[in-house]
Amino acid sequence: MMGRVLPTPDLLEARVVEMFALWRVPLGAPVVVSWNSRLRSTAGRAFYREGRIELNPALLERSPDQIDTVLVHEAAHVAAHRLFGSRCPAHGRHWRGLMRLAGLPPDVTHALPVPLGQRSRRRERIYLRVCDACGGRRIARIVRYDACACGAVRRFFVLRAPATAGGLDALRNMSLAEARERCGTALK
């Protein structure tokens, strides 16, 4: 199942070391990256206390161009935790700042695995924003990171899908638990 296209954990870990240098993360316990073939719909996830990242081989084998983005996304979670402590929101401004430094769009989580035929040429996207505090959700073409109607600030999970009927369905049917899992992060 693991094809030749997939980079070895050694290479992925070296990439994390490179990103940590860019982000000026103090040297700590090495981050361990592994391919976990039990992951289903999650492209990647980070266990930030343990400094561990898991990537989905089946999904990323089909979208090898996403490997680096997913890796850096997860690495930024571990880095944000080490730099700013455990209380910083998963996709809050610290994490977004690290993504920007890495040259990646910060308002984006992992692309959903959709059949190639559904991908629109213009790559239009829609986003599901779920509040981790109240579960309130919004699907829109633009993500706003302001406060939720419930008063919670920066406690959103954001997931992206193509702006197609299939993408809309996927976002509509996604539970808070699934959104959290897909994001590979758990807020305390």
- In the bound state with Zn ion, the residue whose beta carbon lies nearer, of 10 and 146, is 146
Give the DSSP H or E segment for 119.
none
**133 makes contact with Zn ion (CB under 5 A):** yes
| DSSP sequence for 135-152 | --EEEESS---S--TTS-
**150 makes contact with Zn ion (CB under 5 A):** yes
Question: Phi-psi category of 178—alpha, beta or left, where left has phi over 0 and alpha has psi -120 to 50?
Answer: alpha
- In the bound state with Zn ion, the residue whose beta carbon lies nearer, of 2 and 150, is 150
Contact predicate 55/4, CB 8 Å: no
**113 makes contact with Zn ion (CB under 5 A):** no
**152 makes contact with Zn ion (CB under 5 A):** yes
Angle at the Cα of 44 (from 181 to 27), degrees rounded to 5? 115
**Among 131, 158, 171, 179, interactor with Zn ion by CB under 5 A:** 131
How far is the C-alpha of 38 from the C-alpha of 108, rounded, in Å?
A: 24
**Among 42, 66, 69, 185, interactor with Zn ion by CB under 5 A:** 185
Taking 3-state DSSP, the helix, strand and coil percentages for the chain, each rounded to the nearest 5, stand at 35, 15, 45
Parallel, antiparallel or unpaired: strands 156-162 and 125-131: antiparallel
Closest approach of Zn ion to the CB of residue 49, in Å: 15
Segment interacting with Zn ion (CB under 5 A) among 17-25, 112-120, 145-153, 165-173: 145-153
Beta-ladder partners of 158:
129
**Among 114, 136, 168, 176, interactor with Zn ion by CB under 5 A:** 136
**Among 148, 161, 170, 174, interactor with Zn ion by CB under 5 A:** 148
**Among 104, 134, 139, 163, interactor with Zn ion by CB under 5 A:** 134
Closest approach of Zn ion to the CB of residue 69, in Å: 11
**Which chain residues interact with Zn ion by CB under 5 A?**
131, 133-134, 136, 148, 150, 152, 183, 185
